[in-house]
Structure 1
């Protein structure tokens, strides 16, 4: 599975500013490239603090990014961009804002439709600058080349992957995450963990990415409980921001596996926040995969500071307890998911072959349904 001889290409933003107080780099970068028409893509909360970026020029803000953005949300952002004609697009928020910023940057200057770029490397190019500024620690979208948008008709996530969606600069300032509520901190932290663990145990796992993956898991194990207990713990916030960034590194050349595939229908069908959906599913897929990747699963448990377990049932219990200890609701019934929809969800998850085909152990539709039933 882990093959040092497999060719790999690791792409990074052209520049990364990391550390408390690095938000000042936003204005410096915009001034350096001579930006006169910056467009900020943001959610309603972060739209209210765009002034803190101190951007030059005639700044415009699309502040209507939805959680789990859908195609109409993207089209609305692109329509605004085509009116503004920006020379710099800035994703300012969580993964949803940064994903839309990527797509706006590559689609706003032409007539290419979203459907024409779904898939891998179908984007022809980009003529505007792209800056990414995360305000949560979870998605790692600031470091990656993928963007996900939900099709409201099929209720499935559609993915675009392109090297042209890689940021010119990513500014990761942990201070921007200090006000994130504890329940969001917990859920997004487990999302970062899932990125790392799924890449680490993937059929496409690669030693160069394993380094980031296992260190990202270690950072989550060390700092996530602290950040949940005390949102003002600056060291913990910085540790989680780094874990999220490392998780983003994992997404490019390796990507996620069953955990995300099984989690997606929770968000697209029942509007469960992505991080929370990943957290609910995480112990189930980790335990299911353990027989195929026992040594790596044990390494993950050790990285999280959990007791060494070589039995899938005990591994499930340990990671489930880790998540509940963060205050996360782990029951689908309590999250508004109806029991009579579990079968359809299993069908949809099983159809996400771009992720399931990389899982270290074949995961059938019935096994997915069983996970939902146990989680219910």
Structure 2
């Protein structure tokens, strides 16, 4: 673990608008900046409510973002971005829409290709267009970060791009946009937000400057997630989750996630399990596995979730599992349609994600990963 005097770089969107009813502030901001040609990148549902953003000018809407987007989906987005010749790109939706908006902002009109920018700090020059992010779920925190992920359909691997040039000029976080999210999706995305916070908090690169956001984000999920699942129109609960998601995004830049996300990714790339659902299923297994390496922080996590546990691995697992299961989340791989015969390939995929596994507080061998998948099956 790093210490208080360890160097760290903190990144935030230049402007954050937060609260019920703030969505329309994006239009005012864009008008004041003089942006006339605007491209909104969204999924089919959110494309029907672009008017909530109060944008003015030549508005082009790309409405074909797919869950867990792949390189083909990105190619379509880049085609739309080049055709629109936009001055402002808006990511409007969940993490998939916001990640594609980041990539569109830096790659449209650029001589660089996706594969040339995969990895940290490969984008050569500042983007030509402004970037705004408007989340409609409370999970990824992508509005706050500098990373974007797309799947390579040939290798089934996530391609991760990291660049300060993908940091939003403005993030508009309006919890009212999440009122329509179904209960099951609310539960899964809420646990994803929590996983960002927990994995950063228990990370080998954990830092006191980020721990503040990580443990508070976890506490917000513990307090509000069950309420929002029960009543999607509970404005306070929705706002609490939106803030937790934003805090999780703050954690991703300087610290990032660890073993939990590494094990969750193959569920999405191979079996198209929604990212939040994959993280929720994996969460109790990796938290319990890591307990011997970070017992005090694990205890703080469980207290933030309102659960009392001992330092015993089984106690932590049971409490974390019940937290997720009580939200109605499917907690078995077999229940998600993952065949047992695919567990070895998934273990190979996860073990190759060194950028995350190397952050984990306890070394995860390939055999450990395979055992976790077996236990989760």
Common fold by TM > 0.5: yes
Residues 301 and 309 in structure 1, CA contact (< 8 A), matched pair in contact too? no
Partner of 1:96: 96
Taking the TM superposition and a 5 Å limit, the aligned residue runs for 1:92-131 are: 92-124=92-124, 125-131=126-132
Instruction: Write out the 4+ residue segments of structure 1 that deviate beyond 6 Å after TM superposition.
Output: none
Task: Tell me which residue corresponds to 2:69.
Answer: 69
The aligned runs of 1:204-243 (5 Å cut-off) are 204-243=205-244
Alpha-carbon offset, residue 308 of structure 1 = 2.9
2:163 corresponds to 1:162: yes
Q: CA RMSD in A?
A: 0.6
TM superposition shift of 1:212: 0.2
Give the Cα–Cα distance (whole angstroms) in 2 for the partners of residues 58 and 28 of structure 1.
15
User: How do 1:1-376 and structure 2 match up within 5 A?
Assistant: 1-124=1-124, 125-376=126-377
Relative to the length of structure 1, the TM-score reads 0.99
CA positional deviation for 1:104: 0.1
Residues 177-222 of structure 1: per-residue CA shift (max 9 Å, x gap): 0010000000000000000000000000000000000000000000
Distance, in Å, in 1 between the alignment partners of 2:330 and 2:259 is: 20
Aligned equivalents of 1:332, 1:369: Cα separation in 2: 13
CA distance in 2, matches of 1:52, 1:353: 41
Q: Secondary structure at the match of 2:24?
A: helix
Q: Which moved more, 1:108-117 or 1:125-134?
A: 108-117
In 1, Cα distance between equivalents of 2:293 and 2:4: 19
Deviation of 1:111 after TM superposition, in Å, equals 2.6
Contact 1:195–1:250 (8 Å) recurs in 2: yes
Unmatched tracts of structure 1, length 5 or more: none
| Residue 110 (structure 1) shift | 1.8
Shift of 1:95: 0.3
CA distance in 2, matches of 1:17, 1:372: 40
1:76-133: per-residue Cα shift (whole Å, max 9, x none)? 1001111111000000000000000000000112231100100001112211000000
Deviation string 1:303-334 (CA, Å, 9 cap, x unpaired) is: 00001321111100001000000000001001
Q: Report the secondary structure of 1:99's partner residue.
A: helix
- TM-score normalised to the size of structure 2? 0.99
Give the secondary structure class of the aligned counterpart of 2:278: helix
Q: Which runs of 5+ in 2 are unaligned?
A: none
